[in-house]
Amino acid sequence: MNNYLFTSESVTEGHPDKMCDIISDTILDAYIEQDPDSRVACEVTATTGIITVMGEITSKATIDINSIVRKTVEDIGYKDDTFGFNAKTCAVSISVDQQSEDISIGVSSSLEHKDALGSCSLCEDCHKVDGKEMIGAGDQGMMFGMACNDTENLMPAPIYYANKLCERLSYVRKNNILEYLGPDGKSMVTFKYNNGKPEEIHTIVISTQHLPTISQKKLKEDMIEHVINYVIPLELRNSYIHILINPTGRFVHGGPSADTGLTGRKIIVDTYGGMGRHGGGAFSGKDPTKVDRTGAYAARYVAKNIVASGIAEKCEVQIAYAIGVANPVSINVNTFGTSKISDEKMVDMINKVFDLRPASLIAQFNMKRPIYKALAAYGHVGRNDLDVIWEKTDKINKIKESLPDRR
């Protein structure tokens, strides 16, 4: 099907699920800042008047989780009772234990390392095999990454613009351009595709929390002037574009007091807006030994470099890991008929060019640093604004060198 409509959504920082993602990643950053080898699995729930922090954390760091939670919620915009949730007065419940020893053993010493012990002169405290660091994957699972030439940063157009609308919505609120806006909000963008290419925007939906004194007419005018016209290029707009602003007519009651939030419930918002598949694992609150996060970033890195190299217009990469095993158990590539070489040759190239062991990815992406709070909203991929390493296209030459014969 070459002519179709496709829709993606995004949410702002004050959306209850996204607020929980941000809290989880802010806690992760705090641990990594003090102890880069921290093992963190942190999940958060938020509902009327209470935030609950749960997880398994093993670290040398000493963190005041209560203060981190309150500061994060206040920075998002829930500073007082105006929008139904108050960072100063809400309860914060903390239930945190250490990482399971069974998991820790598999991560700290991979299956490959254990197999090598006894057949070489490795010491038991060393994680290397033939000079390569061999920590095991922190969980089993499959991760997907994709890239396409819809946009300049090789992301699908619907999620790219949905994220940009939500970023702008947050910006005009925080900078008092539209002082009546609340922290909770969503956007949705529908693109018309012609011959498989994004041609124009068919529909834009924005739902944003607001003070009860603002009229629907004023809200729509401001959304068009200060958000939509600022984000959407003229060439993607047409006179028939559908614009829906707060379709129910009112969005005063929002945030955690209107809808329970939970870490990891916006995984499609975090990635490709449904345009690419998803392995099901959330990212936020997980240290980089968890391949749900690191493997998904790696799959994006591979797919983006393939498309940037010009050998495919669209590419989806699946990487699968087994807990406690360093090397992927499988790699799959789908270029949707756009590749200049076979997908089988593409997998051979990936094995030559990319090192997908967790220890190598952590080092390549410089992941033992507090970078995660910034990723928690508006996408973990496609983020050229953050200069994250998995968004670089620095493997293009190596890809081309590894494919001298493209037949």
Q: What is the pLDDT of residues 5-64, one digit of tens each?
A: 999 999 999 999 999 999 999 999 999 999 999 999 999 999 999 999 999 999 999 999
For residue 125, pLDDT over 50 is answered with: no
Residue 113 contacts residue 269 (beta carbons within 8 Å): no
Query: Could you tell me if 230 and 172 lie in one domain?
Result: yes
Residues 390 and 270 in one domain: yes
Residues 146 and 282 in one domain: yes
Give me the mean pLDDT over the 109-115 stretch.
Answer: 48
Residue 366 scores a pLDDT above 60:
yes
Contact (Cβ atoms closer than 8 angstroms) between residue 227 and residue 169: yes
232 and 309 housed in the same domain: no
| Two tokens, residue 98 | 């250490």
Total domains in the fold of the chain: 2
pLDDT at 364 over 90: yes
- pLDDT for 123 beyond 50: no
Cα–Cα distance for residue pair 63/34, rounded to 1 Å: 9
Both 394 and 368 in one domain: the answer is: yes
Q: Which of 317, 26, 5 is nearest to 145 (CA)?
A: 317
Q: What are phi and psi of 284, to 5 degrees?
A: -65, 140
Residues 402, 407: Cα–Cα separation, whole Å: 13
Of 254, 280, 302, the position where a domain reaches its end is 254
Question: Which of 200, 225, 254 lies at the terminal end of a domain, its last residue?
Answer: 254
The reply to whether 234 and 273 lie within a common domain is no
Count of residues in the chain: 407
Contacts with 156 (C-beta within 8 Å, 6 or more apart), sequence order: 6, 8, 146, 148, 150, 272, 273, 275, 276
What's the pLDDT tens digit per position in 211-258? 999 999 999 999 999 999 999 999 898 878 999 999 998 999 999 999
Query: Does residue 339 share a domain with residue 236?
Result: no
Q: Are residues 275 and 229 in the same domain?
A: no
| pLDDT on residue 354 | 97
- Indicate whether 183 and 268 sit together in one domain: no
- Does some domain include residue 31? no
Could you tell me if residue 339 is inside a domain? yes
Task: List, for residues 254-282, the tens digit of each pLDDT value.
Answer: 999 999 999 999 999 999 999 999 999 99
Instruction: Find the domain containing 383 and state its range.
Output: 141-151+264-401
Give the pLDDT of residue 124: 44
Residue 130 pLDDT greater than 70, yes or no: no
Judge whether 29 lies within some domain.
no
Q: What's the mean per-residue pLDDT of the chain?
A: 91
Assign residue 238 the CATH number of its domain: 3.30.300.10
In a domain, 209, yes or no: yes
The two tokens of residue 356 are 């997908």
Query: Does 90 have pLDDT greater than 80?
Result: yes
Instruction: Provide the pLDDT for residue 13.
Output: 97
Per residue in 320-351, pLDDT (tens digit) is 999 888 899 999 999 999 998 998 899 999 99
In this structure, are 217 and 281 located in the same domain?
no
Percent of the chain with pLDDT strictly greater than 90: 81
Structure-block tokens of residue 137: 């994957």
Query: Where a domain ends, among 234, 254, 274?
Result: 254
pLDDT beyond 60 at 80: yes
